[in-house]
Structure 1
Amino acid sequence: MAIGYRELAASLRTAIERGEYPPGTTLPKQDELASIHAVNIKTVRQAVGLLEAEGLVTPVRRRGTVVRERPPMRRLGADRYSKKKWKFGNTVAFAADREASGRAWKPTDQTNTVKLVDADEAVATAFGLELGSPVYERARLVKDGDQPTHTLTSYYLPAHVEGTPLVDPTPGPAGRGGGFAVLTLQGYEPDHMTETVCARMPTPDETEMLNLPSGEPVMVLTRHTYTADNTLVEFARGVHAASRFAWTYDFKLPD
């Protein structure tokens, strides 16, 4: 009896996990798979579609069905913001993730687009401003080599950052120690933060910007950064390719 598409997908998944089809290689053509497994083309297409939805493979024009790179980068939890990294060193958060994952990095792996914008509802609510109040928006696209990993867009009050490297559009971190070091020099040293993470499907623009395969979701991060006296100094929103990160948290259990 011929196997179904789920059984075929399971067989191909096992072969990928065993390394029979290493990352970057292509699966046999669909007619070859049909012949090898004694199934019809429709079954093969359904099986490959299931693997694609799982993020194991992606169709590439003129190449075929390519096995995706699987080792995700570690995205550290609280440790990525450790003061010893940015206040007493020169390792900003995205670089801390790269180093923890054994990846090389350079400052220009992060782009910058800086402009004065009208606060939308979320930004205005975070800072306690009137809707449409002027705030600085600092948008970054971060890459691992040539592969985009995530976007991060931060918002600041002009009174906190006017005339500082945080409003300089030069690619890379905002000087030695990055944005947190700049805020510290301005008298607004980051002390604690709240991060909220959720998942959703990407918009068409996000799919293009992050070079996402069909069916891959994104992890959306919202970050509020405060001084010791609870002054909000940064409100940030990030969109991360789900398969390119493993989110790691190390913490002491509260009493």
Structure 2
Amino acid sequence: MTSGYRDVADALRDAIEAGEYAPGATLPKQDVIAAAHGVNIHTVRKAVGVLEAEGLVTPIRRRGTVVRSRPPMRRLGVERYAKHKWKSGVVAFAADREASGVAWKPGDQTQSVRTVPADDATAAALGIKPGSEVYERARLVTDAGQPTHSLTSYYRPEDVADTPIVDPTPGPVPGGGGFGALTRKGLEPDRITETIHSRMPTPDEIDTLALPAGEPVMILERCTYTADGRCVEFARGVHAASRFAWTYSFTIPD
């Protein structure tokens, strides 16, 4: 028998990880858990709260505490940007899906385009003055109807004004996505810098990504450069943490 909420949480976590409670399964009612571990309901609630904060379970009204599905999709590192992929029409999020054995369709990505004033980070990345007009291309990507991440890219107007990048039609930009369109404009991407960190989501991000309580998000900032060092895209991505395993393969530098 156990006596503390951490002990109960440890026991339930072990059972989940061992497959005793499969993804989508409902944990026993709290009074049953309490009796099994010799504790009171308050202790069980605290234990379940620990698992919820870890992203292992989600309370669903009229159903109970449900074990969350954890099918992390592979988010490739340098491989997702391989030139042969987007030059043959395969966009980055589709490369991730194919590497994960997950089907995809163009409608899995929404798209909205507008002009906005550049914030400080965007201006610094693109080498322009804060407040300068830039194109903002915002996408929400879903898998089987469930949001996985959002990605918002910013461009100088002179780089994209006459390209398919500013077409708000849902789905990836035809012909290899935004990188393909930039290449056809004579601005072929050659180097990328990505910065990644995690944090708790904002209320808007919780709504947009349909996040359960306690799930953090992974924030990606990407600068894409041409061979001569011109930054042609600054992008911010917000990823549901439980939806991705981040995979990087690279040659070790000398």
Distance (Å, rounded) in 1 between the aligned partners of 2:64 and 2:201: 24
Instruction: State the 4+ residue runs in structure 1 displaced beyond 2 angstroms.
Output: none
RMSD of the alignment, in Å? 1.0
Match of 1:63? 63
Gaps of 5+ in 1: none
Q: Deviations over 1:36-73 (max 9, x none)?
A: 22210011001101111111101112211110011201
Match of 2:252? 253
Distance (Å, rounded) in 1 between the aligned partners of 2:192 and 2:60: 41
Aligned residue identity for 2:62: R
Instruction: Using the aligned pairs only, state the percent identity.
Output: 69
Match of 2:220? 221
Match of 1:136? 135
Q: Deviations over 1:168-221 (max 9, x none)?
A: 001110112111000000000000010000111110000111111111111100
Match of 1:243? 242
CA contact (8 A) 2:2 2:8 kept: no
Match of 1:25? 25
Distance (Å, rounded) in 2 between the aligned partners of 1:191 and 1:244: 28
Aligned residue identity for 2:132: S
> How much has 1:2 moved relative to structure 2?
4.4
Q: Deviations over 1:136-187 (max 9, x none)?
A: 0000001111111111000011111112110000111011211100000000
Match of 1:74? 74
Is residue 44 of structure 1 aligned with residue 41 of structure 2? Answer: no
TM-score by length of 1: 0.97
Pairwise mapping of residues 148-159 of structure 1 onto structure 2 (< 5 A)?
A: 148-159=147-158
> How much has 1:18 moved relative to structure 2?
1.6
How many positions carry a matched residue from both structures? 254
Aligned residue identity for 1:43: T
Match of 1:171? 170
TM-score by length of 2: 0.98
Distance (Å, rounded) in 1 between the aligned partners of 2:126 and 2:40: 59
Match of 1:35? 35
Distance (Å, rounded) in 2 between the aligned partners of 1:111 and 1:254: 38
Give 3-state SS (helix, strand or coil) of 1:52's partner.
helix
